[in-house]
């Protein structure tokens, strides 16, 4: 009988073990236990999220793949071109070994994309760290950014943007979500499947070593108290080899002899090969002794579970591998035929001539699905009423100036240039809008199209209310796309949560999906791919629920994308959205509350149909070339959006209002569905006609310097300096 | 007129360069694989950017021993025009077609941004520009810090072989406008004969207004014109 300690190492529970014994009709041997540990992990088996994932909108007129069926999701953008995209986390490895954890996170998501025959054309990433003034957090942040830079820059894929935010809940538990976008002819998307019994299974790329064993089951499923000894579970990346793999695989993808391709990532050959067989409705016979290994004496268990990087599996028609081997030879890549797909839906694992395991694929790939509503049953979130201090309700010039200076110097709001200048964002010569804007934009050569991408995940709002917070995350990701003029058409989600076996974690996941479902329907944006990273428990408590949304929008190259900031003195400044001036709406979960109140309280809200309307309106304004700049109002509130709009081209603003007594909400409130924009006065009537139904107000005029309200003058130079100074410690 | 772009394992700027010379400028362009033994009917050789052979050993070092580099050296020695961009510049230094070395950036970080370059138009690669013209071209490198012995630097200066220097947007050459610590703000140099150019900035990445600027095209146009007109 197996002991608790072994099960814990594999992240299996005793009841799961009993279920395995029941299904097999016998005790599993050591190797089989490893296979179950991997395939029944959250990372591969989605046992806490599968039920929820089934409920989500994953299709639209653009989608070409079924959610979860392939390495990534694909959408049709016309001209026989398809975009493949996915976001994936590498949180736990990055906590243990920041550089390699982040580097191999990039490597993994890139393989998911070219496994579909798509040329990777863009990377984005969404990062979360805790206070940089803590040495350990600083070390993690620096290592992660260097890892992404060190690995990604070797691949010739532009890293076009993303976001980086700080919150104490990520203490010792960073989030590293990497998103990759690929381009492929719509009729040439590769599938991760074999076709017929007899098709060969071939491994290509790196030799298999002892690194990363139990990555999927262990690292991704345990608390950080335990990770100190897990260093060997983090893989080491070789970006040069990855670059060769990209080129070789894309060349192979053109050959008729190739049947299917699959990234060999988390849970190694076990997950890649067995899932390939499952998707193909076939079985698999595999010989571990055929797998090229890095060192002698590796056991079948180690070979099956190693997460060595830069490996791919391909399915090839029997006896038709010569052309494929020629391509691999050209790129000096190793390969080996390690197995064959078979009719019986079993996995047969041999070590030379000895059959060491035979199990049914159905058993291996059907982990229990947990009903989160049972786990969360009875959980009542502890909603705290927001306290607005008296000092926030009476205007005092010096106090207000002091708060503005502090907020613009916050690590969450300062310029992120010191990060993105470490990433090549020009290679492939498609980057139209570079990192540092609401969205990044690339053009697609050979078409008249441009694509906009953004990553958003406001976790503080999700901590206040996971359902509304998740609606807001989708709304904001789409808003960031819309302010460039593009129409959002597809999303990918990175679910970063705490322990789903605890009522709170389960509740947060359930609520998040409710929010996702609402927002996806309203915006008609399917979630075409994604990833779940659960058990993010840090040292002391779980992270804020952090559902990160990667969004994609599409537009014509004829559109003149407005600037992020004001472009010329004399232009008028307008704000679309409900007028919250003089109220305290929007302080709940805000950056203001984080910095000055060290609090997370109150209620948040969003009107999704209003949001949809203002996004349509801003796109119409851009399409008709009526506005000069547009910028989403989000973290840091209206004053931050105003300062950043001025900073872009070193301008100022005259605002025709006084700052009210309720200044905190007016300046720093993060009420949703607002966009600040600028325009030429002559176009005001046309703009008014289009914005008929949206609330909008002209609030002032662009000037050459400083930001003036009727009752206060803010010197722009010192604010810009604070913003451009960057992080409190140089990442 | 035929342009050859050398591709090593790990190169990633070949298709951007191809796009600039073929799709934008309309000149016949082909790839040359690093295992190839000869350059046939090539009029201009470009060593593009990337991380050839993973930049193991030293940047550009392994590439400088590849079969095709012997051909490139031969081509250059016969007066054929060669441009080395970024990693290509590093390869040219490693293979001694150009003097000096490229070491880690002074702040030890990779840097990707648009750089302002002040152009010396006294070369076959810059004849399309005005002298001291400021152009905008992206850089993207971790090891672009050009260093050489004092006598080499003096020679480069005396022989007017420093073709590009990092500059401020106002044309000032100083430490603030130097992104990587290169001596005398050097961004690009030629060999003594003037037919080999090495530069860290990526002219192929500045090939269209839509992506931020097309100043890089002038470099290709200059040398192509020279080849065509002799």
The alpha carbon of residue B4 is apart from the nearest alpha carbon of chain A, in Å, by 19
CB–CB of A587/A664 below 8 Å?
yes
Q: Judge whether B111 is closer than 8 Å to chain A, CB to CB.
A: yes
- Dump pLDDT digits (tens) for B153-192: 999 999 999 999 999 999 999 999 999 999 999 999 999 9
pLDDT band at A233 (very low <50, low <70, confident <90, very high): low
Q: Do A190-365 and A394-424+563-731 agree at the fold level?
A: yes
Q: What percent of chain B has pLDDT over 70?
A: 100
CA dist B49 to A133, A438, A702, Å?
Answer: 37, 30, 42
Answer whether residue A224 shows pLDDT above 70.
no
Between CA B178 and CA B176 the distance in angstroms is: 5
Q: A345-373 b/e with 16+ CB inside 10 Å = b? A: bbbbbbbeeeebbebebebbbbbeebebe
pLDDT in tens, A264-288: 988 899 999 999 999 999 999 999 9
- What pLDDT score does A583 carry? 84
CATH fourth-level superfamily of A190-365: PurM-like C-terminal domain (3.90.650.10)
**CATH match for A394-424+563-731 among 3.90.550.10, 3.20.20.140, 3.40.50.1820, 3.90.650.10:** 3.90.650.10
Within 13 Å and on the Cβ side, how many CA atoms surround A74?
29
What CATH number does domain B2-229 carry, 3.30.450.20, 1.10.10.10, 3.40.50.620, 3.40.50.880?
A: 3.40.50.880
pLDDT for A231 beyond 50: no
Average pLDDT, chain A: 94
In this prediction, residue A421 carries a pLDDT of 97
Containing A135, the helix (H) or strand (E) segment is: helix A135-152
State pLDDT tens for residues A68-107: 788 899 999 999 999 999 999 999 999 999 999 999 999 9
Q: What confidence score (pLDDT) does residue A9 get?
A: 83
Q: Do B111 and A421 touch (CB under 8 A)?
A: yes
Domain at A43-187+431-495+503-550, CATH homologous superfamily: PurM-like, N-terminal domain (3.30.1330.10)
pLDDT of amino acid A232: 57
Question: Taking CB atoms and an 8 Å limit, are B54 and A238 in contact across chains?
Answer: yes
Segment A490-517, tens digit of pLDDT:
999 999 999 999 999 999 999 999 999 9
**Beta carbons of A431 and B212 less than 8 Å apart:** yes
Indicate if ipTM > 0.90. yes
How many Å apart are CA B114 and CA B107, to the nearest integer? 17
DSSP per-residue codes, A631-655: EE--TTHHHHHHHHHHHTTT-EEEE
Q: What gap in Å lies between CA B79 and CA B151, rounded to an integer?
A: 25
Q: Is the pLDDT of residue A227 over 60?
A: no
| Interface residue B51 vs chain A (CB under 8 A) | yes
CB pairs under 8 A between A and B: 86
- Of A48, A90, A214, A571, which residue is the catalytic one? A90
Q: Mean pLDDT throughout B122-147? A: 98
pLDDT of residue A1: 65
CA dist A675 and A623 (Å) reads 16
What are the residue boundaries of the structural domains of chain A, listed by start?
43-187+431-495+503-550, 190-365, 394-424+563-731
Would you place residue A222 in the very low, low, confident or very high pLDDT band (cuts 50, 70, 90)? Answer: very low
User: Is residue A364 within 8 Å of A39, Cβ to Cβ?
Assistant: yes
Among the partner residues A241, A423, A432, nearest to B112 by beta-carbon distance: A423
Q: What is the pTM of this model?
A: 0.96
Residue A230 pLDDT class (50, 70, 90 cuts)? very low
Instruction: Write the pLDDT tens digit of every residue in B28-48.
Output: 999 999 988 889 899 999 999
pLDDT of residue A228: 40
* Mean pLDDT calculated for residue range A334-352: 97
- Does the pLDDT of residue A560 top 60, yes or no? yes
Q: Is pLDDT above 90 for A355?
A: yes
* C-alpha to C-alpha distance for A122 and A552, rounded to whole angstroms: 12
Taking an 8 Å cut-off on Cβ atoms, the answer to whether A427 and B140 are in contact is: yes
Residues of B catalogued as catalytic: 86, 202, 204
Instruction: Determine the pLDDT at residue B93.
Output: 97
Given a contact cutoff of 8 angstroms between Cβ atoms, the answer to whether A77 and A446 are in contact is no
> Given the DSSP bridges, would you call strands B2-7 and B28-33 parallel, antiparallel or unpaired?
parallel
pLDDT (mean) for A318-324:
93
Domain boundaries, chain B: 2-229
**Cross-chain Cβ contact B19/A429 below 8 Å:** yes
Give the closest-approach CA distance of B208 to chain A in angstroms: 9
Chain A residues with CB-CB distance to B210 below 8 A: 432, 443, 557
Model confidence band, residue B61 (pLDDT cutoffs 50, 70, 90): confident
**In whole numbers, what is the pLDDT of chain B averaged over residues?**
96
Query: Chain A residue with minimal CA distance to B201?
Result: A426
Among the partner-chain residues A241, A424, A443, the one whose CB lies closest to the CB of B112 is: A424
- CB–CB of B210 and A332 under 8 A? no
Q: What is the mean pLDDT of residues A385-413?
A: 94
pLDDT of A378 higher than 90? no
* pLDDT, tens digit (0-9, with 9 covering 90-100), for A196-214: 999 999 999 999 998 877 6
């Amino acid at each position: 009988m197996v002991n608790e300690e072994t099960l814990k190492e594999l992240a299996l529970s005793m009841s799961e073990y009993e279920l395995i014994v029941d299904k097999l009709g016998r005790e599993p041997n050591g190797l089989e236990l490893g296979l179950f540990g991997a395939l029944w992990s959250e990372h591969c088996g989605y046992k806490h999220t599968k039920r929820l994932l089934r409920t989500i909108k994953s299709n639209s007129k653009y989608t070409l793949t079924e959610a979860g069926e392939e390495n990534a999701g694909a959408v049709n953008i016309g001209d026989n071109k398809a975009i493949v995209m996915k976001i994936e986390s590498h949180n736990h490895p990055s906590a243990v070994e920041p550089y390699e954890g982040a580097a191999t996170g990039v490597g993994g998501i890139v393989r998911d994309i070219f496994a579909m025959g798509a040329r990777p054309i863009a990377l984005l990433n969404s990062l979360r760290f805790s206070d940089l003034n803590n040495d350990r957090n600083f070390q993690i942040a620096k290592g992660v950014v260097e890892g992404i830079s060190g690995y990604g820059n070797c691949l010739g894929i532009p890293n076009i943007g993303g976001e980086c935010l700080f919150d104490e809940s990520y203490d010792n538990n960073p989030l590293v979500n990497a998103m990759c976008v690929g381009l492929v002819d719509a009729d040439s998307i590769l599938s991760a499947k074999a076709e017929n019994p007899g098709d060969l299974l071939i491994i290509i790329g790196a030799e298999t070593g002892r690194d990363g064993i139990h990555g999927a089951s262990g690292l991704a499923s345990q608390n950080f108290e335990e990770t100190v000894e897990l260093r060997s579970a983090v893989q080491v990346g070789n970006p040069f080899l990855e670059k060769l793999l990209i080129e070789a695989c894309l060349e192979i993808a053109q050959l008729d002899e190739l049947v299917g391709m699959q990234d060999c990532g988390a849970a190694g050959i076990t997950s890649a090969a067995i899932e390939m067989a499952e998707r193909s409705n076939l079985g698999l016979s595999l010989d571990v002794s055929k797998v090229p290994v890095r060192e002698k004496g590796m056991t079948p268990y180690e070979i099956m579970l190693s997460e060595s990087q830069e490996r791919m599996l391909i399915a090839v028609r029997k006896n038709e591998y010569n052309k494929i081997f020629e391509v691999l030879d050209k790129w000096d890549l190793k390969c080996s035929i390690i197995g064959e797909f078979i009719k019986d839906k079993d996995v047969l694992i041999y070590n030379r001539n000895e059959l060491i395991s035979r199990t049914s694929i159905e058993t291996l790939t059907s982990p229990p699905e947990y009903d989160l509503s049972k786990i969360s049953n009875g959980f009542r979130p502890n909603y705290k009423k927001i306290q607005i201090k008296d000092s926030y309700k009476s205007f005092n010039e010096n106090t207000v100036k002091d708060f503005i200076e502090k907020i613009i110097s916050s690590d969450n709001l300062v310029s992120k240039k010191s990060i993105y200048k470490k990433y090549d964002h020009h290679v492939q010569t498609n980057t139209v809008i570079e990192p540092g804007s609401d969205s990044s934009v690339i053009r697609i050569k050979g078409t008249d199209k441009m694509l906009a991408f953004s990553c958003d995940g406001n976790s503080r709002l999700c901590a206040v209310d996971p359902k509304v917070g998740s609606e807001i995350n989708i709304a904001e990701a789409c808003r960031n796309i819309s302010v460039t003029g593009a129409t959002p058409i597809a999303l990918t989600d990175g679910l970063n949560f705490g322990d789903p076996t605890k009522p709170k974690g389960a509740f947060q996941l359930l609520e998040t999906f409710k929010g996702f479902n609402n927002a996806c329907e309203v915006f008609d944006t399917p979630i075409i791919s994604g990833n779940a990273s659960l058990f993010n428990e840090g040292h002391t408590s779980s992270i804020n629920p952090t559902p990160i949304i990667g969004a994609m929008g599409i537009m014509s190259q004829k559109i003149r994308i407005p600037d992020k900031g004001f472009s010329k003195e004399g232009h008028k400044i307008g704000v679309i959205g409900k007028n919250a001036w003089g109220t305290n709406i929007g302080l709940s979960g805000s950056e203001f509350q984080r910095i000055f109140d060290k609090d997370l309280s109150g209620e948040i809200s969003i009107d999704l149909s209003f949001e949809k309307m203002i996004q349509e309106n801003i796109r119409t304004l851009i399409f008709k070339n009526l506005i000069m700049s547009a910028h989403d109002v989000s973290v840091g509130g209206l004053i931050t959006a105003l300062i950043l709009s001025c900073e872009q081209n070193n301008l100022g603003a005259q605002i025709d209002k006084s700052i009210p007594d309720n200044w905190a909400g007016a300046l720093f409130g993060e009420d949703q569905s607002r966009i600040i924009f600028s325009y030429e006065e002559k176009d005001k009537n046309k703009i008014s006609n289009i914005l008929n139904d949206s609330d909008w107000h002209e609030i002032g005029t662009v000037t050459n310097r400083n930001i003036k309200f009727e009752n206060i003058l803010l010197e722009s130079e010192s604010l810009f300096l604070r913003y451009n100074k960057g992080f409190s410690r140089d990442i | 007129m035929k342009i050859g772009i050398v591709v090593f394992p790990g190169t990633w700027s070949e298709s951007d360069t191809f796009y600039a010379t073929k799709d934008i400028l309309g000149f016949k362009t082909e790839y040359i694989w690093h295992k190839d033994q000869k350059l046939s009917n090539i009029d201009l050789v470009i060593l593009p950017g990337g991380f050839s052979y993973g930049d193991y050993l030293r940047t550009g070092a392994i590439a400088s021993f590849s079969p095709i580099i012997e051909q490139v050296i031969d081509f250059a020695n016969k007066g054929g025009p060669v441009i080395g961009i970024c990693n290509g510049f590093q390869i040219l230094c490693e293979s001694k077609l150009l003097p000096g070395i490229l070491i880690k950036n002074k702040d030890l970080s990779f840097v990707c941004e648009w750089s302002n370059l002040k152009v010396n138009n006294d070369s076959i690669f810059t004849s399309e520009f005005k002298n001291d013209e400021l152009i905008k071209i992206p850089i993207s490198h971790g090891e672009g810090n050009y260093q050489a012995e004092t006598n080499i630097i003096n020679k480069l200066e005396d022989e007017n072989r420093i073709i590009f220097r990092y500059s401020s947007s106002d044309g000032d050459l100083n430490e603030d406008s130097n992104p990587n610590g290169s001596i005398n703000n050097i961004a690009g140099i030629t060999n003594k004969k003037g037919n080999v150019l090495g530069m860290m900035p990526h002219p192929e990445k500045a090939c269209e207004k839509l992506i931020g600027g097309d100043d890089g095209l002038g470099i290709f146009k200059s040398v192509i014109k020279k080849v065509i007109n002799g």
